[in-house]
Structure 1
């Protein structure tokens, strides 16, 4: 049997469609309900659905009055503030293409993105790094725009371009990922296939407004459902999040694995209203998942995805349990395969996780890079670059990034398997594993760990020997101050050898 999941397609996206109109439709049903609360220990800023829609469509009028027109690109240099999602949806509402960017980028990094996308203007908050090489629209004008007459939605083909986001991909070179209006429709597959999200939920996301994980899971999806989105205000620390979860009666919590790890350092996680947590961004360590369940009595459901297709494999409330190395199941409506050199491999055989090109959530392509776009496909399958294995029950086991896979004496070894084993060592707080070349054509597995003090290497070797086959055991251990991570908190395994030992 081939490693293919296909239980039938998701219902087609309606024609004459607009992403922002779809997200804000709940304002007709529940205009006075709180759509967004920006929370901090001293209070909250609250937006009703009616106020949110009025602000967005007024802002859309302001963008048009400023000279932008449908089809123009608007590069966003806006930090962690409510102006970010308001401007993002305002642009999409009238056919302007927003390009959200990380507030952490430097001037040279931003200029690379400008050269790549050729925006008609840049929306700037006056704080984030922003070159003066394009026309700038300041966010301080937006408060006046909120009271303007509502713009009409720009309705049209759901396959037309809606927004552009950036991914570094496997090469580290930024690529502009083009998404269609239908991308929001495809996120409906995540509602039951991951979130278990209802209109009655209050979902808190621990990320910043301008992170795509927060934008989708933390804002757009709750609004599409008619739920309430809770976002910690800028400056809120991870240690304060349990208080906010309890005080604002959050029923679902979403964060990256590193945030869960930090929150678990807090004493007394008493969260009586919390139903479950959501995790994405990188593989959730089993130790963190289990510790969270012990501390809160609630499960964390994990999802796997990418900038080019959001999430499409996940665990969910009510779904059967799978091993810790599992990602979950393909979401209802998805067409997923594990692909080998030419075709899907047999069940139980590792290969590349792939998404069928018919998936409504799949990107349109990389901007002005048709060759790079087509290189991601093998026939009708979009190759994610991540290794996985499909079980008889159609669950997906994860084996790590294809470019992170290690070669130890001719054996392919997943770093996740080695890291999971070493995380059981009582004095290790965090660990990252990669293979390094010690002489030409000879590579060994090296483990880089974070601990309060140097650990005895003989004891580490003995511990690994009880949990890992010989060829999977590290031959080198190094204590470092912290693991290298990117802006989205993903572990950069190839940067481990560059870290200074402590």
Structure 2
């Protein structure tokens, strides 16, 4: 039998059955929790119910769930059946869901009852879907997931999975076309735990660990799910909205010992007045998504005696580079490649560059957590490599001590508050508005979010630019057409866009304009 992460978590359940696996706090202060043994039994019952309903080894199941205990049960149960999990954020809308379902040829959807309406919009065009399960409430035309467990045994499930079977099919934005389906196998969690989950995230059995990423993102699989449960720690979950003061109170009141948050969350917490009023129990803190600035690192060290350590990775791999425990922090640097990880700065031909020269941040093809390719897209997979190196799409340089410094994207991908956003998705939504003739979307520097989405829009009728409510109207339109976090926070109406001789929009010109004219 090959490696199966769910069975590894079951081992923890047998050795420490009464240990709290997930501690969940609601916005109203309500508390729910589940022990490791309760998690084992609940995922067994659900796995048996799913198997009985026809979800078996190789089935592809899209999961649309918000933060809570349910995602932990569902993910473990699906792994026990040998299925492929297609993670989906609760912020996805019908067009996003439809694309992923059709591209993945998903067999089933497990969705929170408040999200089922988005799936219903694409049912007629999604011929592979046969099973629809709702969580947390009843939805017309859906089977309540609880009914699958009502008569199920909680005996251990034994499905033989192979290391090369597809465990996770995560979608990540591209600069052109739709999102890419990133393939990770059943062996991936083992390799992730052996490297990033040990050397960087550093969860230990006694920790109450809070990784703020939400389900549906690769980062949720990395940290809240695999790195915490895989190390036998307690996962802290908060289901409310981010408020800096609220986060600090939660850290204090629940004695969180390990925090992993986005740079934006750290930046806003660091700006709270009278930070000394909060008595935190943090022994370790880390961040990923974009570079941390010195002010945040200095503030947390001064106020809470903890060093916030940076890390870098992608959906296509896992954490690759980071500042490890007891390593010298160099603010602005993402740290060093993890032990045993071959990360280098290479040129356009895949040749390693000398110290100090800017090039592509690249990962050697032998890296054990590197993805197995983009689903049904051998050409896109091939283009991601230069010789033996996978090209991340980011530019950087290495110093004489091996620290790597981020220099920017080599393509048009936008990273805003930790979210990765493809300009094509936003542009596609904008041009569907009847008043928009053409548009281009780029990243614009922002003091708190790192960058924001900015849209340059050509209107069908230039006089509509005088409508004071049009900007908000377009923003709301994008929120309805695609995930709300992608909406352009800044919109500028223009008469023309820079283009190449072949007619392609030159986003690089707009990006350079933003970098020159934006004052942080």
Tell me the TM-score normalised to structure 1 length.
Answer: 0.76
Select 1:353's aligned residue among 323, 339, 361: 361
The residue number in structure 2 matching 1:57 is: 44
- Evaluate the alpha carbon distance shift between residue 146 and residue 205 of structure 1 in structure 2; reply closer, same or farther with a 3 A threshold: farther
CA distance 1:67–1:358, shift in 2 (3 Å): same
Distance 1:146-1:254 versus aligned 2 partners, 3 A rule:
farther
- Which one of the candidate residues 309, 312, 318 is aligned to 1:304? 312
Does the Cα contact within 8 Å between 1:19 and 1:162 map onto a contact in 2? Answer: no
SS of equivalent residue, structure 2 residue 400 = coil
Match among 154, 157, 160 for residue 152 of structure 1: 157
Residue-pair matches, total:
421
Matches within 5 A, 1:23-172: 23-40=9-26, 42-128=29-115, 129-131=118-120, 132-133=123-124, 134-135=129-130, 136-140=132-136, 141-146=144-149, 148-149=152-153, 150-171=155-176
User: Any conservation in 2 of the 1:350–1:388 contact (CA below 8 Å)?
Assistant: yes
Tell me how far apart the structure 1 counterparts of residues 244 and 455 of structure 2 sit (CA, whole Å).
34
* Distance (Å, rounded) in 1 between the aligned partners of 2:487 and 2:388: 32
Q: Are the structure 2 counterparts of residues 403 and 434 from structure 1 closer, same or farther at C-alpha, using a change threshold of 3 Å?
A: farther
CA distance in structure 2 between the partners assigned to 1:154 and 1:352 by the alignment: 41
Where does structure 2 lack aligned partners over 5 or more consecutive residues?
137-143, 414-444, 457-478, 491-506
Corresponding residue of 2:376: 368
Does 2:233 match 1:227? yes
Instruction: Report the Cα offset of residue 436 of structure 1.
Output: 12
Cα deviation 1:201-258 (Å, max 9, x = unaligned):
1111223333332332123211111111101124464431111111111111111111
2: CA distance, partners of 1:260 / 1:110: 31
Q: Which residue of 2 aligns with 1:326?
A: 333
Equivalent pair of 2:68/2:238 in contact (CA under 8 Å): no
Q: CA distance change for structure 1 residues 282 and 431 in 2, over 3 Å: closer, same or farther?
A: closer
The residue that corresponds to 1:211 in the other structure is 217
Measure how far apart 1:435 and its partner are: 12
Instruction: Give the Å deviation of 1:306.
Output: 0.5
> For 2:62, what is the secondary structure of its paired residue?
strand
Match of 2:3 in 1: 17
1:340 aligns with 2:334: no
Q: Secondary structure at the match of 1:25?
A: helix
Q: 1:145 to 1:248 in 2, by over 3 A?
A: farther
Q: Is 1:176–1:366's contact at 8 Å kept on the other side of the alignment? A: yes
Partner of 1:255: 261
Of 370, 387, 405, which residue of structure 1 is paired with 2:395? 387
Post-superposition Cα deviations, 1:16-56, rounded to whole Å, max 9, x if no partner, equal: 21132234431122111011100246231111000011111
Aligned Cα root-mean-square deviation (Å): 3.3
Whole-angstrom CA distance in 1 between matches of 2:25 and 2:287: 21
2:362 touches 2:390 (CA, 8 Å); kept in 1? yes
Cα deviations across residues 333-360 of structure 1 (Å, max 9, x unaligned)?
2122211122111232221111111211
Residues 30 and 167 of structure 1: CA distance in aligned 2, closer, same or farther (over 3 Å)? same
Cα pair distance change 1:51/1:433, threshold 3 Å: closer
Specify whether residues 241 and 24 from structure 1 end up closer, same or farther in structure 2 by C-alpha distance, changes over 3 A only.
Answer: farther
The Cα shift of 1:434 comes to 11
Q: Cα distance 1:403–1:435, how it changes in 2: closer, same or farther (>3 A)?
A: farther
Alpha carbons of structure 1 residues 387 and 287: separation in structure 2 relative to 1, 3 Å:
same
The alpha-carbon distance between structure 1 residues 433 and 346, as it changes in their structure 2 partners (threshold 3 A), is farther
Work out the CA distance in 2 between the residues paired with 1:32 and 1:275: 24
Report the equivalent of 2:409.
401
Separation in structure 2 between the aligned mates of residue 490 and residue 47 of structure 1, nearest angstrom? 39
On the 8 A contact 1:197/1:222 being kept in 2, the answer is: yes
CA separation in 1, counterparts of 2:97 and 2:232? 35
Shift of 1:115: 1.6
Deviations 1:399-421 (A, max 9, x none): 1211269xxxxxxxxxxxxxxxx
Structure 2: distance between partners of 1:181 and 1:490? 37
- Counting only pairs closer than 5 Å after superposition, residues 441-480 of structure 1 correspond to structure 2 as none
Residue 305 (structure 1) shift:
0.4
Tell me by how many angstroms 1:275 deviates. Answer: 1.0
Give the unaligned 5+ runs of structure 1: 1-14, 406-421, 438-483
Contact 1:264 1:291 in 2 (8 A): yes
**Partner residue in 1 for 2:205:** 199
Residues 1:189 and 2:185 are matched in the alignment: no
Structure 1 residue 303: deviation in Å? 0.6
> Which whole-Å deviations, capped at 9, do the CAs of 1:163-188 have from their partners, x for residues lacking one?
11110034373111110111101212
**Aligned residues of 2:289 and 2:312 also touching (Cα < 8 A):** yes
Cα 1:192–1:93 shift into 2, 3 Å: same
Q: Kindly tell me: are residues 331 and 146 of structure 1, through their superposed partners in 2, closer, same or farther at Cα, counting changes over 3 Å?
A: farther
The 8 Å contact of residues 55 and 81 in structure 2, kept in 1 or not, is answered as: no
TM-score, normalised relative to structure 2: 0.74
Residue 271 (structure 1) aligns with: 279
Counterpart selection for 2:296 from 288, 298, 302: 288
The 1:349–1:275 alpha-carbon spacing in structure 2 relative to 1, beyond 3 Å, is same
2:474 aligned residue: none
User: Which region of structure 1 is more displaced relative to structure 2, 117-126 or 229-238?
Assistant: 229-238
Matched residue, 2:181 = 176
